[in-house]
Structure 1
């Protein structure tokens, strides 16, 4: 499925830190610490992206992650605050399941999935992370599921059907 790549200059994005990892390199001179940050950005209106930043300082790692996330933006179809249909996503050992929910349910999802879904602007969803709990893989599996979502308009366009004829008789 093709990705709906967007430019970050089109929208105002909010960032969320998903995971921060401290990495220690032991050398002859002692220990050297560096940080890696997984960041999700989104406009909470159907546009979301993820990125990874690595640096010697926490703040610098986060800002690098935000810059990387702005390069990986995708558009997600949202209908009445939820996803249009059931969808499975997979990346490496992580598998995720997204299921539409009625209004008022809220975001029923764990850690890294919750950050992605809230940044996308989804307010009601039932989600389950299966397999690996590695935040990198869970975020990428969630994006796999979100990228494969299709709304009625895009399906009708692919099939060459006019929705006005279908609904208006």
Structure 2
């Protein structure tokens, strides 16, 4: 019974292959090719992870990347269908800026960032990617930014102020949330 529940939970995950690269190792008889796959996995409810798989065949690299992404899944702070506050984060030379958006805006994001935020279940967000356009670094910068987000409830408790002073205006700043 528990095994069936686990399989149902695994089936609900949104798996996206963000990037596949062919690499070559030069050996005595020529070149030996292998593949690297960057995979983003999310449940659409605020959990997302990224994994990189390497193998001699593409399907095997994707499978390995998916397994690593599932192991690396983290829960992120969300406010409704968006993020609770603006944040800028970087990885290597890639910088990512994430900004909350009011309901109905949609996902305004480029390739790697879009895959991560959609897999996480964020439906309204504005993003900007600066610096390096290396897709692996952009994805890692996005994951890092999402991990650094703070839950409005925790911030309100830590500061000793009411929740409605911390929440974004579109979630009912004037009311108690």
TM-score norm. by structure 2 comes to 0.83
Alpha-carbon distance in 1 for matches of 2:163, 2:99: 24
Alpha-carbon distance in 1 for matches of 2:58, 2:154: 41
Alpha-carbon distance in 2 for matches of 1:31, 1:63: 24
Q: How many residues align?
A: 159
Q: Which runs of 4+ in 1 moved over 2 A?
A: 9-12, 156-164
SS at match of 1:83: coil
**Cα deviation, residue 21, structure 1:** 0.3
Unaligned runs of 5+ in 2: 1-5, 167-174
SS at match of 1:44: coil
Alpha-carbon distance in 2 for matches of 1:20, 1:68: 15
SS at match of 1:157: helix
Alpha-carbon distance in 2 for matches of 1:61, 1:34: 9
Unaligned runs of 5+ in 1: 1-8
**Cα deviation, residue 159, structure 1:** 3.4
**Cα deviation, residue 160, structure 1:** 5.0
Partner of 2:121: 121
**Cα deviation, residue 151, structure 1:** 2.2
Alpha-carbon distance in 1 for matches of 2:119, 2:83: 14
Partner of 1:73: 73
Kept in 2: contact 1:89–1:143 (CA 8 A): no
Partner of 2:107: 107
Alpha-carbon distance in 2 for matches of 1:157, 1:17: 39
**Cα deviation, residue 157, structure 1:** 3.2
**Cα deviation, residue 162, structure 1:** 6.5
RMSD: 2.0
Deviation string, structure 1 residues 114-145 (Cα, Å, up to 9, x no partner): 00000000111110100011111111110111
